[in-house]
Structure 1
Amino acid sequence: MSDMKNSVFRHNGQEFIVTQDMKDAYNTNGYIVIRNLLSVIEMQKARSGVEMSVGIQKYAHGRSDGNKMKSRQTLWNQPGKDITGVLVRIQRIAGTMEELIGQGEIYHYHSKLMMKDAYEGGAHVWHQDYGYWYNNGCIFSDMGSCFLPLDECKRENSCLQVLAGSHRLGRIDHITIGDQLGADPERVDKVRKLFPHVYVEMCPGDALFFHCNLLHTSDQNTSSSRRWVLIASYNTRANNPYKVHHHAQYTPMSKLPDTALLQCELIDDIPAKAYMDPSEDKSASYGKGIH
């Protein structure tokens, strides 16, 4: 069991700089965690932008884990100019992701709010994001995501789990597992013996940046604590999908100064965000003949 120490960094509240140690850890382990990347007041702003959003609740839908539990999620393809859209474009988030991927200009691929409510949040099987995105026409795995908890993420309420370094395996075939699509369990069983299994416990304000080929999972939330997480995913301009699909093609994304988050007062920018109708989200369904 890894204690994550090689991939955990801390923001001191001053100007944030992506260091070579951060890049090395990301390339070696497939992820880094930055403690206190967002301040308390910035997290209050982010939480209000989520909890007061009409659009997020309007387009939320549940997804069963096949074991009597379900999670809710809302997904949007364009960031928009509201609080959640500004958050995923500030330099500390988007700029950091761009430097970690290291393949030039990035753009907003999509964002989503994952809602695992108390006592009923469903589990997710082991998977790679690129296991889905490969089928959307993305040639390269020059993609990544930033995981921003709005609540404490502990083992008790289903924090993310990763196999540190597993992104170096490349893409693993994904197959139907119950009601979900996940990485081939036979291969995952072997892989789990080779890489540290890390429970990524986080607090609001922390940020997890991870590679799209990193194997990850999460358990059911049977605790009394809600676990809501905002996840922003990015693609590189040079990796623009070769076919039109249900996530964003390359769209220029203007990165914003970090001060823009606290200056933003717009809660909803519904027309601009391109919220996804649940029936159109086929990323996790192609193994069932839907693409």
Structure 2
Amino acid sequence: MLSAEEVQQYHADGYLIKRQFFSREESQRLLEKSRSDKVLQESAIRRDDKDGRTTKLTVWNHPIDDLYGMFSRNKRLVTAVEQLMGEPVYHYHSKIMLKEPRVGGAWEWHQDYGYWYKNGCLYPLMLSAMIAIDRATTDNGCLQVLKGSHHVGRVNHGVTGGQVGADMQRVDAAVSRHELIHCELEQGDVLFLHCNTLHKSAANLSDNPRWSYIIAYNAVRNDPLWEHHHASYTPLKTVDGNAIMQWKEDTGSSDHQALIFNTDKDSGDRTED
């Protein structure tokens, strides 16, 4: 359970870092699984930044009984998300970001709701939980946020290079008024991010990878107004907190490939982080 002070901090700042939310053993399972997951890596979409560097991401909508689902459906995580949101949520989509050493590109300034508003989500009752698979540092392109910038409200977004970015006139104004925070994370830390918080990440020019598992949640009452490639309301079936360590490799893992989709092909989407 998060404390009342942590919930208050999230609403004031637009983000919350919870250190060692997942144990070293749980985090190591996620690292080993993702590094060995050929389906995950071969299905990755490529996104170029304005300098031509490339970052890869793999996206899916529905959690199943694989290891990734044991994280996104984990009662510990879902409970924390619902505390921050103040209401029931469902799984909107998941993605794993693969920011490789030396070549991993930057992500331009944006808000997640800058995309999701266009998907038909009427209210900014959404957040992302970013789980650090690798250590995230300034050197390898950790997430940067403008503290409290979610109070600005939704900013218009347009295409920048191969990505969708926020209106830079608004961003520049926000930069002059809000503190820039480099969200350095250790393996197993979780960053909870309000969907209207302006954020970006720099290119990975280090020798170390920076992979992260990002799970987007939407309020049940914020079901999209129209059908889109991301999930409409589907009941979220949580699993016990110890499900990560109890999971076995052959449990549902063969179904994961069918859930991964290519956003270039399916929607022209340019997501994100």
Q: How far is the alpha carbon of 1:48 from its aligned partner?
A: 2.4
Write the distance in 1 (CA, Å) between the matches of 2:40 and 2:193. 24
Pairing of 1:179-258 with structure 2 (within 5 A): 179-258=162-241
TM-score, normalising length from structure 2?
A: 0.94
Partner of 1:282: 268
Contact 1:133 1:283 (8 Å CA) reproduced: no
Name the Cα RMSD after superposition: 1.5
1:1-291 equivalent positions in 2, closer than 5 A: 17-102=1-86, 104-266=87-249, 268-270=253-255, 274-278=259-263, 279-284=265-270
Partner secondary structure for residue 48 of structure 1: helix
Is the Cα contact below 8 Å between 2:50 and 2:160 reproduced in 1? no
Counterpart Cα distance in 2 of 1:54 and 1:26:
36
SS in 2 for 1:81: coil
Moved more, 43-52 or 66-75: 43-52
State the distance in 1 between where 2:267 and 2:39 align.
Answer: 17
Q: Is the partner of 2:177 in helix, strand or coil?
A: coil
**Aligned counterparts of 2:234 and 2:194: Cα–Cα separation in 1:** 21
In the TM superposition, residue 61 of structure 1 has moved relative to its aligned partner by 2.3
CA distance in 2, matches of 1:20, 1:64: 40
C-alpha distance 271-39 of structure 1, shift in aligned 2 (>3 A): closer
- Change in Cα spacing, 1:106 to 1:269, as seen in structure 2 (3 Å) is farther
> Which is worse superposed, 232-241 or 259-268?
259-268
Offset of residue 258 of structure 1: 0.7
Q: Deviations over 1:129-185 (max 9, x none)?
A: 000000000000000000111111000000000001001111001122233211100
Distance 1:271 1:204 in 2: 24
Rounded Cα–Cα distance in structure 2 between residues aligned with 1:60 and 1:109 = 19
- CA 1:230–1:86 in 2, change beyond 3 Å: closer, same or farther? same
Which stretches in structure 1 are left out of the alignment for 5+ residues?
1-16, 286-291
Aligned partner of residue 221 in structure 1, secondary structure: coil
The residue type paired with residue 253 of structure 1 is L
2:260 is matched by which residue type in structure 1? Y
Q: What SS class does the counterpart of residue 21 from structure 1 fall into? A: helix
How far, CA to CA, are the matches of 1:87 and 1:263 in structure 2?
12
CA contact (8 A) 2:47 2:270 kept: no
TM-score of the superposition, structure 1-length normalised? 0.88
Whether the aligned pair in 2 keeps the contact of 1:162 and 1:217 (CA below 8 Å) is yes
Partner of 1:4: none
State the one-letter code of the partner of 1:183.
A
Name the aligned partner's letter for residue 17 of structure 2. Answer: V
Per the alignment, in what secondary structure is the counterpart of residue 233 of structure 1?
Answer: strand
Q: How many residues align?
A: 268
Deviation at 1:272, TM superposition (A): 7.9
CA distance in structure 1 between the partners assigned to 2:234 and 2:141 by the alignment: 33
- Matched to 2:75, the amino acid is Q
Which SS does the other structure have where 2:208 is aligned? coil
Is 147-156 or 267-276 further displaced after alignment? 267-276
Query: Offset at 1:269?
Result: 4.2
1:52-105 per-position Cα deviation (integer Å, ceiling 9, x unaligned):
324312311221113121001100001111001111111221211111011x21
The residue number in structure 2 matching 1:5 is: none
Letter in 2 for 1:25: Q
Percent identity between the aligned chains? Answer: 36
